[in-house]
Structure 1
């Protein structure tokens, strides 16, 4: 009897790992992303840049850090963005000590709050090759109202964009707590590649489709990586 009971329990547990059609459920991607906007006084730009670079370098040495990049907005000095990805929530939380040092440095020179937003991956490309010094990055935020088709549209845009010449990165992230909010992170080898992407037929088509369901204007900012 104990053997029979063990067999039945094992069968139930094994079956629970499969979906309704008997297929194994896809593994859940536990990667945690952070998108942070930082604005400091123009006179403190150099101090902020140094602090952000120290934070970047220290974070990259932390266990579980997959990637962390710091950008400065083109045409708006002293406006920065941090895009980071971590293995899981535990790794993300473990870098709080490193982040606290950055926050302490920024506190007396900041113009606005440290605007950090938590995300999960919607569609992320393969590891990107190293960008050159001419690379241009774009961080765009969009939210949609009652638009269940938005994720599929964004995925199609990402897939088509990754095939374009000069694309380095094209990731779409979904807000952890507001499922209708997304951030698109893209990097192009140079301005010419970005301009060609903006004029591409598929880009215009997807933008038109997305524009009809957005809850607010697309917040798109262009950056250069902080070296």
Structure 2
């Protein structure tokens, strides 16, 4: 049974945040609170291709040390399929305070300092809370066959809640409801091991989708389901059954400020 950590209400048209030294909870304008327990971290690492093996070894060592720390719920190192000098680290911590203690630890500081000369892009670490996410303890461990999919989603703020003028029907579904609906129907697809929607703590219209599939075949089959196709169409501001607009001058009226950029990874450490 999935333990849903957070769901967004549909009444608000803008977002507000509240944070203190003791809390990184995210409060929506309608009063909905997304808890920072657990706190999720998604980190993108892009390295010199010649350093791929060295970076992989560093991430493996960092995983071993981090999983021993108080408050760690999950720590996964991933390597991008087809571009093996790109990595992602997915972390879950019982609280923001415990995650902050980890960030200040000697082994984390040494990890980042050793990694830095091998990078060709900045170390891109993004804190998140659960928008619609499973209890980390309920998620099965990945293995060599598991396909991870990490997607950065950038919903244009006025399109998060009704009225969303870029949608075919301004009453919705709008951006946030579309994201939580995506998680719900995807979890029912064969081979789904995890389908979490995380929202950035400092910018709640930016989200990260974290998927786990038991095989590449299951992930590929999910992609071509009617429900997934409808989601992609609606995200583009066209009818769910659309795909190609008959008007040759038609410009997609995206609800997003960026591409829906799905990236596939394999597990290297957990």
TM-score when normalising by structure 1: 0.85
- 1:27–1:200: structure 2 CA closer, same or farther, 3 Å change rule? closer
Partner of 1:131: 142
Distance 1:61 1:117 in 2: 22
How does 1:13-92 map onto structure 2 within 5 Å? 28=35, 30-92=37-99
2:127 matched residue in structure 1: 118
Q: Could you tell me how far 1:185 is from its partner in structure 2? A: 0.4
Taking the aligned partners of 1:69 and 1:184, their CA distance within structure 2 comes to: 15
Aligned equivalents of 1:28, 1:41: Cα separation in 2: 37
- 4+ residue segments displaced more than 3 Å: 25-29
Residue of structure 2 in register with 1:102 after alignment: 111
Corresponding position of 2:213? 188
Q: Deviation digits for residues 37-57 of structure 1, max 9, x if unmatched?
A: 111111111111111111111
Paired residue secondary structure (1:180): strand
**Could you tell me which residue of structure 1 aligns to residue 247 of structure 2?**
none
| Change beyond 3 A, Cα 1:200–1:27 | closer
Deviation, 1:26, is: 8.6
The Cα RMSD (Å) is: 1.7
Distance 2:208 2:186 in 1: 15
Q: 1:215 aligned to 2:226? A: no
Is the radius of gyration larger for structure 1 or structure 2?
1
Q: Find the aligned partners of 1:133 and 1:33 in 2 and give their Cα distance.
A: 23
CA separation of 1:27 and 1:216: change in aligned 2, threshold 3 A: closer
Unpaired runs of 5+ residues, structure 2, are 1-31, 162-173, 238-254
Q: Is the 8 A contact 2:52 2:84 kept in 1?
A: yes
Residue 130 of structure 1 deviates from its aligned partner by 2.8
CA drift of 1:132 comes to: 3.6
- 2:176 corresponding residue in structure 1: 151
